[in-house]
Amino acid sequence: MRSSLPLMLGLCALASACTVPAEPGSNPARDVGKSEIVYSEGFVELTTLADDGDLRACQVLAERKLSGEPATRDLAGAERYLRRAAEGGLATAQFALAALLASGEFKVHEPREAEHWYRSAAEQGHPGAAVALALELARRNEAESDREARVWLQRGAEAGEPRAQSALAAFLVRGRGGERDPVAGAEFARRAAVQGDAQAQALLGQLHLRGEGVVADADEAARWLRPAAEAGLAVAQLNYGQLYLQGAGVVEDPAAGAQWIARAAAQGLGPAQAKLAQLHEHGRGVVRDRAQAYVWYRRAAAHGEASGREGAERLERELTDEERASAQRELSARP
């Protein structure tokens, strides 16, 4: 089963659809109040509306059937009414249905069914669906799919969707799905970063570190890496920790740098594990501890880091019996 994020997105789409837009010539204040009352009715009244063809009632009813404790949820009923709304052309229902199919909450009946419904919603201008469709396409790792994914990300980005801006920035910087354009990538990363997108903040910070698409600026790198690191992104934690080791963009503080790098290493980021091993080996920002260094070199090696393998092989020849035994105990408890 995939991450629960698509499911949450689907439920958010469901919740956002509870207000029926006023018809031309009606009294908006009166009708909004009426729709809220109608959709606050019980299952019987709501079911009547849904069975009479009210697509939004179908969607709200599906949400009601999905809510509550797992034992009381009615997945079959929710799927039935949500499919009815999606097949009737309601974009938010199409998006929600796709998200629930992608998350594994609903059983997929046809190949790429989630992609089909994401596409249907995206073609109606749903920005979240455009992002989700692009990510579905990107998972194929095919040149043609990457090109189409980039088109959908462009649409979502221009509509102001921060996730689309963030993903498009990465595509542009890496040249995925088309030519590389780090300048445009940096601009889209900035648009998403100012809206709080942690992935975009991490990317923008890295671009400022490398001077790619933007002027190299350690202060700007630190400015954007910090919130991404605080949000828990391992690569941002590693890069932010490196700034403390170098005294670039922040006051040099090896202990703070080691702490950030340790957070990234604990998440399984190979380069961070190798760097933490070096810090333990040389006693920079942490107490010098060759057994700990060996442990982290081994963990980095397990994630494919050549420096981790080399460090582990070198230290294994140098460790005392006591250090080796200490390292092995920790690796046995947590490889």
Q: Residue 38 pLDDT more than 80?
A: no
Q: Residue 35 pLDDT more than 50?
A: no
Q: Looking at residue 259, what is its pLDDT? A: 98
Mean per-residue pLDDT, 114-141: 94
193 pLDDT band, cuts 50/70/90, is very high
Helices (H), the chain: 5-16, 28-39, 43-51, 55-66, 75-87, 91-103, 113-122, 127-138, 143-158, 162-174, 182-193, 198-210, 218-230, 234-246, 254-266, 270-282, 290-302, 306-318, 321-333
Q: Residue 11 pLDDT more than 90?
A: no
- Number of other CB atoms surrounding residue 279 within 10 Å: 26
Q: Residue 29 pLDDT more than 60?
A: no
- First-to-final CA distance of the chain: 25
Q: What is each CA distance from 17 to 25, 46, 136, in whole angstroms?
A: 22, 14, 24
What are 267-308's pLDDT values in tens digits?
Answer: 999 999 999 999 999 999 999 999 999 999 999 999 999 999
Q: Which residue has the tokens 């998200």?
A: 99
Mean per-residue pLDDT, 254-266: 98
User: For 272, what's the count of Cα atoms within 13 Å in the CB-facing half-sphere?
Assistant: 22
What's the mean per-residue pLDDT of the chain? Answer: 88
User: From CA 153, how far away is CA 172, in angstroms rounded?
Assistant: 11
User: pLDDT over 70 for what percent of the chain?
Assistant: 87
Mean per-residue pLDDT, 127-144: 94
Q: Residue 177 pLDDT more than 90?
A: yes
User: pLDDT over 90 for what percent of the chain?
Assistant: 82
Structure-model confidence comparison of residues 94 and 68, the more confident one:
94
Structure tokens at 25: 């010539």
41 pLDDT band, cuts 50/70/90, is low
Q: Residue 195 pLDDT more than 70?
A: yes
Which of these ranges, 2-6, 58-62, 151-155, 243-247, has the smallest mean pLDDT?
Answer: 2-6
Which of these ranges, 69-78, 150-159, 300-309, has the smallest mean pLDDT?
Answer: 69-78
69 pLDDT band, cuts 50/70/90, is confident
Q: Looking at residue 4, what is its pLDDT? A: 40
User: From CA 304, how far away is CA 191, in angstroms rounded?
Assistant: 34
- Number of other CB atoms surrounding residue 106 within 10 Å: 22
- Among 4-8, 159-163, 261-265, the range with the most confident prediction by mean pLDDT is 261-265
Instruction: Look at phi and psi of residue 217 and say left if phi exceeds 0, alpha if psi is from -120 to 50, else beta.
Output: beta
Mean per-residue pLDDT, 114-123: 96
Q: Residue 1 pLDDT more than 90?
A: no
Q: Which amino acid is at 223?
A: R
